[in-house]
Amino acid sequence: MLFASIGGILGSGWLFGPLYAVQLAGPAALVAWLIGGAAVLVVALTYAELAASLPVNGGITRHALIAYGRTTGFLASLTSWLTFTVIVAAEVQAVMQYATIYWPSLTDQASDGTHPLTLLGFGVAAGLWVIFSIITWVGIRLFAHVNGILTWIKVGLILVVTIALYVLAFEWTLFDDVKEGGFAPDGWNGIFRALAYGGVIYAFTGFQHAAVAAGESRNPKRDIPIAVIGSIVICTVLYLAIQVAFIGAMREQEMPHGWAHLQFKGQVGPIAGLAMTLGVTWLFIVVFAGAIASPLGAGLINLGSSMRIVHGMSHDRYLPRRLGRVGRFHTPGLVLILSFPIGLFLFLPFPGWQDLVAFLASVVVVGYALGPLCVLALRRQMPDLERPFRLPIAHLVCPLAFIICGLLIYWSGWTIVWKLGVVLGGCTLLFTAAKIPQKQGIDIVASLWIWPFLGGLVMLTWLGGHGGAEVIPFGWDILCVAGWSLVSYAMARPLAISPEKARGYLEDIHAAKVEDAEIADFGG
């Protein structure tokens, strides 16, 4: 379980995050990594209680169903599926950008610094997605056994690269260079921007794999809290180490236009570009190997988890039941086929790795926001449920975690948040419109907090300074978003469904244990 979460976290984040975070925040990117790790850890603590007390496949998607009913459960399932699917797209994009080092015709250099795929690159990306799908369909059980080895390889690569940069070129010169703007050239605004648009929050996405697969753990009461919390702590240390090494290996003459315009000529892979700038060929080869191993492992884990989510969605009647049927290899092949065009479509509105992960950060945080709500709702609905890991001072931690989620969505910026509102709002409206004529219970009242919460965040982002109209000045915007998130949290708390209905949903999930066991090795 621990290795599933670490393997899911350590994808392409360490390959691109150090550059994009430092472009936005300068050396204060270190603060962004600390804040990002701490913020995700606070949210993860709620996941740890939920997964340890109710270890069901699907994790938060099922917890949201039990606590807040079918419409909220659909939103949780949609965000989880989108998260894992976008991660696969981001990992493919990462491989393509690093492959451009040898095959420049795969991507273009846009004026805004992004690297959209060329027609050839799009074809190669499609081929990579097909390979991911075939491995998931036929060989995911084998991959489950070798994932631990692949995770050790990824950790080893990160350590080798970090230590090499320390030994070969490390200096403290640029950590507080006044000429380059000092430690934080864009202040707190740059630090907060780096959380979403610098790839920091994305880099921690993956800790929830242990929670999603909680029903497959031999000892979930012990395993889930260790896996969820331990993976975040370990990866925070690794990310901080490589960010420090990246900044320390830079020289002033290599960045004549400051941190914001830092780039490596002819290199779309920043760590590889730094290695070549230093003239260390063997380190370049190690980084290039990491650019293959890390996205490959993370992509396969996330594609496997997305299949698990869809399997649960079909059982919970969000999707047709036939979509969740498993074939001879115990995987839902029809879902894999349908995911292929959807995954390729993601490359069109988000032409580069940075745009993909910024959108993903906002999507995944919506799912995160359900965790603190479900913890207190389930404590009221099922007070006698055994809780091996009980979140301390939950009545303070849960609203804090919800406020953090609201802020993280806001810091994604206007160009991302309005797309988030359109996608989630549109899909949820379609779901309710489709289910009402069928006279199925959709627990619409329990979901009424969702619309003002997301709508208010879209409006505040439009008025704020992260790509918006800048009507609300910096500082006040944070207070407004935090206040609105707290109001939305207070609005959602009393809307949880009745204990009787919650137990009914739980019994229905337990009745599907045999079906869940059919795909018990996805990404494990």
At 480-514, the pLDDT tens digits run 999 999 999 999 999 999 999 999 888 887 776 54
C-alpha distance across the termini of the chain, in Å:
7
Per-residue pLDDT at 128: 83
Per-residue pLDDT at 163: 92
Token digits of residue 457? 């965040």
Q: Environment class of residue 141 by beta-carbon count within 10 Å: exposed (0-12), middle (13-18) or buried (19+)? A: middle
Per-residue pLDDT at 139: 61
Q: Environment class of residue 261 by beta-carbon count within 10 Å: exposed (0-12), middle (13-18) or buried (19+)? A: exposed
Among 263-272, 358-367, 415-424, 455-464, whose mean pLDDT is lowest? Answer: 263-272
| Report field, pTM of the whole predicted structure over 0.85 | no
Read off the pLDDT of each residue in 186-205 and give the average, rounded to a whole number. Answer: 85
pLDDT of 516 strictly over 70: no
Per-residue pLDDT at 241: 93
Which amino acid is it at 12? S
Among 266-275, 486-495, 510-519, whose mean pLDDT is lowest? Answer: 510-519
Is there a contact between 90 and 353 (Cβ–Cβ < 8 Å)? yes
Question: What mean pLDDT, rounded, does the chain reach?
Answer: 80
Per-residue pLDDT at 31: 94
Per-residue pLDDT at 266: 53
Q: Which domains does the chain have, with CATH numbers?
A: 2-399 (1.20.1740.10)
Is there a contact between 477 and 460 (Cβ–Cβ < 8 Å)? yes
107 beta partners: 117
* pLDDT band at residue 519 under the 50/70/90 scheme: very low
Could you give the 3-state DSSP secondary structure of residue 491? helix
Token digits of residue 510? 């337990």
Per-residue pLDDT at 506: 87
> To the nearest whole percent, how much of the chain has pLDDT over 90?
18
Cα gap 491→436, rounded to integer Å: 24
Which amino acid is it at 232? I
Q: What is the DSSP track for 170-182?
A: --SGGGG-GGGT-
Which is more confident, 343 or 169? 169
Per-residue pLDDT at 327: 60
Token look-up 């990117």 returns 29
Q: Of the segments 34-38, 186-190, 407-411, which one has the largest average pLDDT value?
A: 34-38
Read off the pLDDT of each residue in 72-96 and give the average, rounded to a whole number. Answer: 82
Per-residue pLDDT at 140: 59
* pLDDT band at residue 518 under the 50/70/90 scheme: very low
Model confidence over 310-356: pLDDT tens digits? 777 777 777 776 666 666 656 666 777 777 787 777 776 666 666 77
Per-residue pLDDT at 524: 34
Per-residue pLDDT at 328: 63
The beta strands (E) that lie in 93-172 are given as none
* pLDDT band at residue 135 under the 50/70/90 scheme: confident
Count CA atoms closer than 13 A to 252's CA, side-chain side: 11
Cα gap 219→239, rounded to integer Å: 29
Read off the pLDDT of each residue in 152-177 and give the average, rounded to a whole number. Answer: 85
Cα gap 52→183, rounded to integer Å: 41
* pLDDT band at residue 93 under the 50/70/90 scheme: confident
pLDDT of 267 strictly over 50: yes
Among 55-69, 71-85, 284-298, 311-325, whose mean pLDDT is lowest? Answer: 311-325
Cα gap 47→212, rounded to integer Å: 10
Per-residue pLDDT at 244: 93
Q: Of the segments 7-11, 280-284, 320-324, which one has the largest average pLDDT value?
A: 280-284
Q: What are phi and psi of 247, to 5 degrees?
A: -65, -45
Per-residue pLDDT at 84: 79
Per-residue pLDDT at 259: 82
Which amino acid is it at 65? L
Token digits of residue 422? 């359109």
Q: What is the DSSP track for 153-170?
A: HHHHHHHHHHHHHHHHH-
